[in-house]
Amino acid sequence: MLKLLSVWSFEIAITIISVIFVYYIFKFYYSSSKSVKSQFLSRLKTFSGIFLAQTIFTTVSSIFLSMKYNEVVAIPMLIISLLELLGFIYLFRIVRE
């Protein structure tokens, strides 16, 4: 079962933060592609939309996995989610410039 201060709870928190960053990136590219008709921006919008769907799926999957598996599964998932979040933070910084 999911405990408040467990590896799973940290992993799920990281994926939720990732969803927030990717949503902001998607929202930026979505509004940019509407105001500036560019095939490149349209592709970036699609690309970020796929990442948004993936991070939402990862969050939901992590919740279900936490109910069945222990830290043996949670630790690799946490590392993957942290690396993913670092990439999204970097992309977020690029978008804000």
Residue 25 to residue 8: CA distance in whole angstroms? 26
Q: For the chain, give the number of residues.
A: 97
User: pLDDT per position in the chain (97 positions), as tens?
Assistant: 556 678 999 999 999 999 999 999 999 989 988 888 888 888 888 999 999 999 999 999 999 999 999 889 999 999 999 999 999 889 888 877 7
Question: What SS3 string covers the chain?
Answer: CCCCCCHHHHHHHHHHHHHHHHHHHHHHHHHHHHHCCCHHHHHHHHHHHHHHHHHHHHHHHHHHHHCCCCHHHHHHHHHHHHHHHHHHHHHHHHHHC
Q: What is the pLDDT of residue 63?
A: 92
